[in-house]
Protein backbone atom coordinates (compact mmCIF):
# COMPACT_ATOMS: atom_id res chain seq x y z
CA UNK A 1 0.00 0.00 0.00
CA UNK A 2 1.30 3.47 -0.88
CA UNK A 3 0.01 6.76 0.58
CA UNK A 4 0.97 9.82 -1.43
CA UNK A 5 0.22 13.46 -0.59
CA UNK A 6 1.13 16.54 -2.56
CA UNK A 7 0.75 20.19 -1.58
CA UNK A 8 0.58 22.91 -4.18
CA UNK A 9 -0.29 26.59 -3.96
CA UNK A 10 -2.34 26.56 -7.18
CA UNK A 11 -6.03 26.04 -6.16
CA UNK A 12 -7.00 25.31 -9.77
CA UNK A 13 -5.30 21.92 -9.68
CA UNK A 14 -7.56 18.98 -8.89
CA UNK A 15 -5.84 16.19 -6.94
CA UNK A 16 -8.95 14.11 -6.33
CA UNK A 17 -9.30 12.69 -9.82
CA UNK A 18 -7.63 9.33 -9.13
CA UNK A 19 -9.93 6.31 -8.88
CA UNK A 20 -9.36 2.79 -7.68
CA UNK A 21 -7.63 0.53 -10.17
CA UNK A 22 -9.94 -2.12 -11.63
CA UNK A 23 -8.72 -5.39 -13.05
CA UNK A 24 -9.89 -8.52 -14.85
CA UNK A 25 -7.82 -11.61 -14.09
CA UNK A 26 -7.85 -14.92 -15.92
CA UNK A 27 -5.74 -17.92 -15.04
CA UNK A 28 -5.53 -21.35 -16.62
CA UNK A 29 -3.38 -24.19 -15.41
CA UNK A 30 -2.96 -27.92 -15.73
CA UNK A 31 -1.09 -30.39 -13.56
CA UNK A 32 0.23 -33.68 -14.95
CA UNK A 33 1.16 -36.36 -12.42
CA UNK A 34 3.87 -38.20 -14.32
CA UNK A 35 4.77 -40.57 -11.48
CA UNK A 36 4.51 -40.82 -7.72
CA UNK A 37 7.25 -38.23 -7.24
CA UNK A 38 7.20 -36.48 -10.63
CA UNK A 39 4.91 -33.76 -11.93
CA UNK A 40 4.62 -31.38 -14.86
CA UNK A 41 2.81 -28.08 -14.30
CA UNK A 42 1.68 -25.56 -16.93
CA UNK A 43 0.19 -22.17 -16.01
CA UNK A 44 -0.94 -19.18 -18.04
CA UNK A 45 -2.52 -15.90 -17.00
CA UNK A 46 -3.96 -12.69 -18.43
CA UNK A 47 -4.57 -9.47 -16.47
CA UNK A 48 -6.21 -6.32 -17.80
CA UNK A 49 -6.19 -3.12 -15.72
CA UNK A 50 -8.31 0.01 -15.93
CA UNK A 51 -8.01 3.35 -14.10
CA UNK A 52 -4.24 3.01 -13.96
CA UNK A 53 -2.68 6.32 -12.80
CA UNK A 54 -0.64 7.95 -15.58
CA UNK A 55 0.75 11.45 -16.03
CA UNK A 56 -1.58 13.56 -18.18
CA UNK A 57 1.42 15.45 -19.64
CA UNK A 58 3.66 12.40 -20.01
CA UNK A 59 1.75 9.06 -20.22
CA UNK A 60 5.03 7.12 -20.02
CA UNK A 61 5.15 8.12 -16.33
CA UNK A 62 2.80 5.58 -14.75
CA UNK A 63 1.99 3.87 -11.49
CA UNK A 64 2.71 0.56 -13.28
CA UNK A 65 6.41 1.19 -12.62
CA UNK A 66 6.10 1.73 -8.88
CA UNK A 67 8.39 -0.59 -6.93
CA UNK A 68 11.02 -1.02 -9.66
CA UNK A 69 14.76 -0.68 -9.16
CA UNK A 70 14.72 3.00 -10.09
CA UNK A 71 13.34 5.81 -7.96
CA UNK A 72 9.71 6.34 -9.00
CA UNK A 73 7.76 9.32 -7.73
CA UNK A 74 4.14 10.26 -8.43
CA UNK A 75 3.34 13.47 -10.24
CA UNK A 76 0.69 16.09 -9.43
CA UNK A 77 -0.52 15.63 -13.01
CA UNK A 78 -1.65 12.06 -12.40
CA UNK A 79 -5.06 10.92 -13.66
CA UNK A 80 -6.81 7.56 -14.05
CA UNK A 81 -6.74 7.40 -17.84
CA UNK A 82 -4.25 4.54 -18.00
CA UNK A 83 -4.74 0.98 -19.18
CA UNK A 84 -2.41 -1.98 -18.74
CA UNK A 85 -2.11 -5.54 -20.00
CA UNK A 86 -0.08 -8.20 -18.26
CA UNK A 87 0.14 -11.76 -19.57
CA UNK A 88 2.53 -14.64 -19.27
CA UNK A 89 2.97 -18.25 -18.31
CA UNK A 90 5.16 -20.82 -16.64
CA UNK A 91 6.06 -24.42 -17.27
CA UNK A 92 7.86 -26.50 -14.68
CA UNK A 93 9.04 -30.06 -14.17
CA UNK A 94 9.49 -31.13 -10.57
CA UNK A 95 10.90 -34.24 -8.94
CA UNK A 96 9.96 -34.42 -5.25
CA UNK A 97 12.52 -35.58 -2.73
CA UNK A 98 12.81 -39.33 -2.90
CA UNK A 99 15.64 -41.81 -3.26
CA UNK A 100 17.94 -39.17 -1.86
CA UNK A 101 17.52 -36.38 -4.42
CA UNK A 102 15.16 -33.74 -5.85
CA UNK A 103 15.19 -31.11 -8.57
CA UNK A 104 13.03 -28.52 -10.30
CA UNK A 105 13.28 -26.86 -13.71
CA UNK A 106 10.99 -23.90 -14.46
CA UNK A 107 10.72 -21.37 -17.27
CA UNK A 108 8.42 -18.35 -17.20
CA UNK A 109 7.47 -15.57 -19.58
CA UNK A 110 6.16 -12.13 -18.60
CA UNK A 111 4.88 -9.31 -20.81
CA UNK A 112 3.72 -6.05 -19.20
CA UNK A 113 2.64 -3.00 -21.20
CA UNK A 114 0.57 0.09 -20.41
CA UNK A 115 -0.85 3.05 -22.28
CA UNK A 116 -3.17 6.03 -21.98
CA UNK A 117 -6.68 5.74 -23.37
CA UNK A 118 -6.07 9.09 -25.06
CA UNK A 119 -3.26 7.53 -27.14
CA UNK A 120 -4.00 3.76 -27.28
CA UNK A 121 -1.56 3.13 -30.16
CA UNK A 122 1.44 4.23 -28.08
CA UNK A 123 2.34 1.50 -25.63
CA UNK A 124 5.13 1.55 -23.07
CA UNK A 125 7.17 -1.18 -21.47
CA UNK A 126 6.84 -1.58 -17.72
CA UNK A 127 9.79 -1.75 -15.34
CA UNK A 128 8.71 -5.35 -14.57
CA UNK A 129 8.71 -6.56 -18.17
CA UNK A 130 11.68 -8.93 -17.80
CA UNK A 131 10.31 -11.33 -20.42
CA UNK A 132 12.13 -14.64 -19.77
CA UNK A 133 13.21 -16.23 -16.48
CA UNK A 134 14.65 -19.75 -16.13
CA UNK A 135 15.25 -21.44 -12.76
CA UNK A 136 17.03 -24.72 -12.08
CA UNK A 137 17.61 -26.11 -8.60
CA UNK A 138 18.11 -29.47 -7.00
CA UNK A 139 19.95 -31.42 -4.38
CA UNK A 140 21.36 -34.79 -3.39
CA UNK A 141 21.64 -36.30 0.09
CA UNK A 142 24.09 -39.00 1.22
CA UNK A 143 23.83 -41.01 4.43
CA UNK A 144 27.20 -41.67 6.01
CA UNK A 145 28.59 -43.25 9.17
CA UNK A 146 28.62 -46.79 10.52
CA UNK A 147 24.95 -46.63 11.41
CA UNK A 148 24.17 -44.22 8.57
CA UNK A 149 23.06 -41.71 11.18
CA UNK A 150 24.94 -38.81 9.60
CA UNK A 151 24.10 -36.94 6.43
CA UNK A 152 25.92 -34.97 3.79
CA UNK A 153 23.95 -33.01 1.19
CA UNK A 154 24.66 -30.82 -1.82
CA UNK A 155 22.13 -28.24 -3.03
CA UNK A 156 22.54 -25.95 -6.03
CA UNK A 157 20.46 -23.47 -7.99
CA UNK A 158 20.92 -21.47 -11.16
CA UNK A 159 18.79 -18.57 -12.39
CA UNK A 160 18.87 -16.98 -15.85
CA UNK A 161 16.98 -13.69 -15.88
CA UNK A 162 16.64 -11.31 -18.79
CA UNK A 163 17.87 -7.83 -17.95
CA UNK A 164 15.98 -5.29 -15.90
CA UNK A 165 13.93 -2.70 -17.78
CA UNK A 166 15.20 0.87 -17.28
CA UNK A 167 14.62 4.31 -18.75
CA UNK A 168 17.00 5.43 -21.51
CA UNK A 169 19.72 7.92 -20.57
CA UNK A 170 19.93 11.32 -22.25
CA UNK A 171 23.69 11.42 -22.65
CA UNK A 172 24.06 15.00 -23.88
CA UNK A 173 21.90 16.40 -21.07
CA UNK A 174 23.60 14.19 -18.47
CA UNK A 175 27.06 15.30 -19.63
CA UNK A 176 26.09 18.95 -19.14
CA UNK A 177 24.66 18.39 -15.67
CA UNK A 178 26.60 18.34 -12.43
CA UNK A 179 26.85 14.77 -11.12
CA UNK A 180 23.30 13.91 -12.18
CA UNK A 181 21.91 11.37 -14.62
CA UNK A 182 19.12 12.66 -16.83
CA UNK A 183 16.71 9.96 -17.97
CA UNK A 184 14.30 10.07 -20.88
CA UNK A 185 10.91 9.86 -19.17
CA UNK A 186 8.97 10.02 -22.44
CA UNK A 187 9.89 6.52 -23.65
CA UNK A 188 8.89 4.43 -20.66
CA UNK A 189 11.19 1.56 -19.68
CA UNK A 190 12.24 0.82 -23.24
CA UNK A 191 15.90 -0.02 -22.53
CA UNK A 192 16.70 -3.54 -21.33
CA UNK A 193 19.94 -4.27 -19.52
CA UNK A 194 22.06 -7.39 -20.21
CA UNK A 195 20.79 -10.68 -18.74
CA UNK A 196 21.70 -11.80 -15.24
CA UNK A 197 23.06 -15.16 -14.15
CA UNK A 198 23.14 -16.27 -10.55
CA UNK A 199 24.38 -19.64 -9.37
CA UNK A 200 24.55 -20.75 -5.72
CA UNK A 201 25.81 -23.92 -4.12
CA UNK A 202 25.44 -25.17 -0.57
CA UNK A 203 27.09 -28.06 1.31
CA UNK A 204 25.51 -29.34 4.52
CA UNK A 205 27.08 -31.73 7.02
CA UNK A 206 24.81 -33.19 9.72
CA UNK A 207 26.40 -35.25 12.48
CA UNK A 208 24.32 -36.92 15.20
CA UNK A 209 26.08 -38.07 18.35
CA UNK A 210 24.81 -39.65 21.54
CA UNK A 211 26.63 -39.74 24.87
CA UNK A 212 24.72 -41.46 27.65
CA UNK A 213 21.43 -39.55 27.84
CA UNK A 214 22.68 -36.51 25.93
CA UNK A 215 21.94 -36.40 22.23
CA UNK A 216 23.68 -33.80 20.09
CA UNK A 217 23.14 -32.74 16.51
CA UNK A 218 25.85 -30.74 14.72
CA UNK A 219 25.00 -28.98 11.48
CA UNK A 220 27.64 -27.25 9.37
CA UNK A 221 26.58 -25.23 6.33
CA UNK A 222 28.98 -23.96 3.69
CA UNK A 223 27.28 -21.81 1.07
CA UNK A 224 28.72 -19.87 -1.85
CA UNK A 225 26.40 -17.26 -3.36
CA UNK A 226 27.06 -16.29 -6.99
CA UNK A 227 29.68 -19.00 -7.22
CA UNK A 228 30.45 -18.08 -10.84
CA UNK A 229 31.25 -14.49 -9.74
CA UNK A 230 29.12 -13.19 -12.61
CA UNK A 231 28.74 -9.40 -12.79
CA UNK A 232 24.98 -9.06 -12.42
CA UNK A 233 23.60 -5.66 -13.42
CA UNK A 234 20.63 -3.99 -11.74
CA UNK A 235 20.73 -0.42 -13.10
CA UNK A 236 22.59 2.15 -15.17
CA UNK A 237 23.71 5.75 -14.78
CA UNK A 238 25.85 8.36 -16.50
CA UNK A 239 29.45 8.23 -15.28
CA UNK A 240 30.85 11.75 -15.55
CA UNK A 241 34.39 10.51 -14.87
CA UNK A 242 34.54 8.45 -18.06
CA UNK A 243 31.98 10.46 -20.05
CA UNK A 244 29.55 7.64 -20.86
CA UNK A 245 26.84 5.46 -19.28
CA UNK A 246 27.90 2.79 -16.82
CA UNK A 247 26.24 0.01 -14.83
CA UNK A 248 25.37 -0.63 -11.20
CA UNK A 249 26.41 -4.15 -10.17
CA UNK A 250 25.11 -6.52 -7.52
CA UNK A 251 27.42 -8.20 -5.02
CA UNK A 252 30.16 -10.54 -6.36
CA UNK A 253 30.90 -14.04 -5.08
CA UNK A 254 29.90 -14.29 -1.42
CA UNK A 255 30.85 -17.25 0.83
CA UNK A 256 28.82 -17.99 3.94
CA UNK A 257 29.58 -20.46 6.74
CA UNK A 258 27.18 -21.38 9.52
CA UNK A 259 27.21 -23.80 12.43
CA UNK A 260 24.26 -25.01 14.48
CA UNK A 261 24.22 -27.16 17.59
CA UNK A 262 21.06 -28.82 18.88
CA UNK A 263 20.73 -30.83 22.06
Give 143-166 pLDDT, tens digit per residue: 988 888 899 999 999 999 999 899
Give pLDDT, residue 72.
62
pTM listed for this prediction: 0.79
User: How many beta carbons lie within 10 A of that of residue 188, not counting itself?
Assistant: 27
Give pLDDT, residue 213.
67
Give pLDDT, residue 102.
96
Low-confidence ranges of the chain (pLDDT < 50): 1-3, 12, 15
Give pLDDT, residue 54.
87
Give pLDDT, residue 1.
45
Amino acid sequence: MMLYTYNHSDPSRNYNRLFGVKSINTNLGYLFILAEDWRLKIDGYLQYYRNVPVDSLNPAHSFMNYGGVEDWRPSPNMNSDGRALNFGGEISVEKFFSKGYYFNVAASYVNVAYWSQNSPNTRYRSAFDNTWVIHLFGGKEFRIGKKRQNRFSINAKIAFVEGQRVRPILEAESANSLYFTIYDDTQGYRTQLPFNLRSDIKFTFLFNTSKQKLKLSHRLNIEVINVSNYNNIYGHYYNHSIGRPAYYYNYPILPNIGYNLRF
